[in-house]
Structure 1
């Protein structure tokens, strides 16, 4: 079983990034504590998005089944049902939530995850999308920091954040001639955990780390396989300009930001991470 990592996994998606530019952002939205789930929408349907063997339950089922709640430490728990017995041809309950607010290019998203979901058949993600996705989502920039080397601009109580203090990214996929504002609308933040599906259930992907068959050997049965299939989130904070938070759901633009998915956490042995995504000008 993986233990809490001493690493900070800082993932930053920056659009039209300039390494020499100074980009400072102020706190505009926070999801934290007892009100964490107040501003999220529960999907409330089976996984018809990635063909997972999962049902993304509504808010009432998530609450009554303790699949989405705030624990005694004040952290948000988002989890897969690990107590029910699932019969063959049925799906297992889990959670997908999307933020009610949407956030424009020019915002920075920070989340402190004390635990991330892992295990055979588990396909979690923290990501974003706008109406009408998918679309081209490059460039992507990625940083990873040891916790002892977290930049001062990324403290847990920071009212501002300066992306210029993050240094050179370890991954950089430039967009070429992509015009950010043409292809990206304001984004909804999403947490979800599906099971098997198009990626995690693919025979070649599944067999690389697990034995047996994804659905019949893991989803079906008592649910004991999913004791570690949960997020524990201390907070999600959004930094940006005064126009970063967008309430309106209407837009003609699309665009999906790349997801932070189980492959990166599992392969690096991470069960805890502070993750940063920036859609920086």
Structure 2
């Protein structure tokens, strides 16, 4: 029989083991920290698209980026929805400054670019080196009038999947390596709520990508069905059921084929997939638009892209706690396209300006009082563990518990509070969604406001004029060559 002290020790050991094996939040890109943790790509499109990618300065002047107070300061990236152009439609492509090896990647999106002939939006992870040696994970992707999400891996040779892996989507093939069309190995969702109009009508949702040494799984949760553990930033994929897509099997060395990956958002036009003649014809765009080529339609039809925008609540990256401990002290990777901002730098992105914020150590010395006051409402909430007050009913109960029981009760209390908070937030988002769509579409005059917008609040966008210096282009960006990615055809290997 165990003594009481031995029992407490064993219970504590179990809790410690669970904690070490679980996922811990390492990065939260949201609100005023979102754009500062990504580097804009402003070179020629590696997939030969009819698109002009913009720097932050250019995008700011063209209203292609901003934050949206009525959507809890979500981050907005759009393509040009007005102009006629012969030089490629203005758009955005950004890549995280930090690169990753393994992790759980969550992206909460209120809106993704709607499916329109000529468009090619994607949220993806891109590995280091000459494409596709470092791998590519297309989490959200589609072209033209596609209604369901297509999730795809692109690798170098000798990466084959186990076709019996459990997932709910439909697979095209098991070989992820290069072929004539660079299609990769794709799994398409069956539910139209996973992409495009169906996704947006449901107020979006959360995509979760789990990448380990055993493979890659992609989950999607519509807004109304986001698990409580995601809402409380304590995600546990073992409780989520079958994923939309699961890429696994002993026929692929996952650590060799996927490494040093950066997170990417972009909206391209035409190019090697959306603009391919056979795709333009077979997908119905030639008949619908009356234009023989993708480029002809995109050049003359700016108004068709009024809904070609991303509205991002957050990107959060979690890693296994053992892995997190082992990786402490290691350097952070540069984003593709390579600006050299320090990892501690954030940027305040407003409707008309992009203002690099000072580092944490120098913020108070460098910022003027008016700047400090104006920036305070846009600070993102930082995830933290809060100890329950002994005065609350749950706290009073915890006073009579000890060791693991008290920790478990406190954790449950925090989950309950997060669920209540999330439910209120969901109601606020549903009520304000039409107003948000109207706000991000129209050009309105704004005034500086230092009040708290809050969840679905009415705070105005900060309209400061100050411009900060941009980081110099990194070495990777300078050395980008066309041979690093020439994806052709379905599956859309972008490679850069």
TM-score (norm 1): 0.72
Name structure 2 gaps, 5 residues minimum.
Answer: 1-19, 134-154, 162-214, 336-490, 492-496
Equivalent of 2:88 in 65, 88, 91:
91
Distance 2:253 2:48 in 1: 32
Does structure 1 conserve the Cα–Cα contact (< 8 Å) formed by 2:26 and 2:318?
yes
Of residues 58, 67, 70, the one that matches 2:67 is 70
- Compared with structure 1, are the counterparts of its residues 34 and 122 closer, same or farther at alpha carbon in structure 2 (3 Å cutoff)? same
Q: Deviations over 1:240-281 (max 9, x none)?
A: 14238851349xxxxxxxxxxxx9xxxxxxxxxxxxxxxxxx
1:189 aligns with 2:189: no
Q: Could you say which residue in structure 2 is the equivalent of 1:59?
A: 56
Secondary structure of 2:256's partner? helix
Question: Within 2, Cα distance between the matches of 1:128 and 1:67?
Answer: 22
1:150 is matched with 226
Point out where structure 1 has 5 or more consecutive residues left out of the alignment: 1-21, 251-262, 264-281
- The Cα offsets for residues 146-166 of structure 1, whole Å up to 9 and x where unpaired, read as 5444332221xx232111111
Q: Deviations over 1:183-236 (max 9, x none)?
A: 32221100011000000111232231423321102x212511110111111111
Range with greater deviation from structure 2 (202-211 or 118-127): 202-211
Matched residue of 2:97: which SS? Answer: strand
Match of 2:146 in 1: none
Question: 1:214 aligned to 294, 306, 310, which one?
Answer: 294
Please say if residues 101 and 247 of structure 1, whose CA atoms lie closer than 8 Å, have aligned partners that are also in contact. Answer: yes
Alpha-carbon shift at residue 31 of structure 1 (Å): 0.9
Equivalent residue in structure 2 for 1:33, among 21, 25, 31? 31
Q: Take 1:24 and 1:226, find their aligned partners in 2: how far apart are those partners? A: 42
Spell out the pairing of 1:126-275 with structure 2 (5 A cutoff).
Answer: 126-132=123-129, 133-135=131-133, 136=155, 139-155=215-231, 158-207=232-281, 208-211=283-286, 212=291, 213-217=293-297, 219-221=298-300, 223-240=302-319, 241=321, 242=324, 243=327, 247-249=332-334
* Contact 1:24–1:163 (Cα < 8 Å) also in 2: no
Contact 1:153-1:161 within 8 A present in 2 as well: yes
What is the rounded CA distance, in whole Å, between the counterparts of 2:33 and 2:222 in structure 1?
30
- Call closer, same or farther: CA 1:131–1:110 in 2, change over 3 Å: same
Evaluate the alpha carbon distance shift between residue 169 and residue 202 of structure 1 in structure 2; reply closer, same or farther with a 3 A threshold: same
Distance 1:68 1:170 in 2: 30
Larger CA Rg, structure 1 vs 2:
2
Q: Deviations over 1:29-72 (max 9, x none)?
A: 1111122101111111221x111000111111011111122122
2:219 & 2:107 partners in 1: Cα distance?
A: 14
Distance 1:27 1:44, change over 3 A: same
Cα shift at 1:23: 5.9
- Report deviation, 1:131: 1.5
Distance 1:84 1:229 in 2: 14
Q: Distance in 1 between matches of 2:230 and 2:96?
A: 22
Task: Give the equivalent residue in structure 1 for 2:106.
Answer: 110
8 Å CA contact 2:99–2:332 kept in 1: the answer is yes
**Normalised TM-score (structure 2):** 0.42
Deviation at 1:130, TM superposition (A): 1.9
| Larger RCO, structures 1/2 (Cα 8 Å, 6+ apart) | 1
Asked if 1 retains the 8 angstrom alpha-carbon contact of 2:97 and 2:333, the reply is no
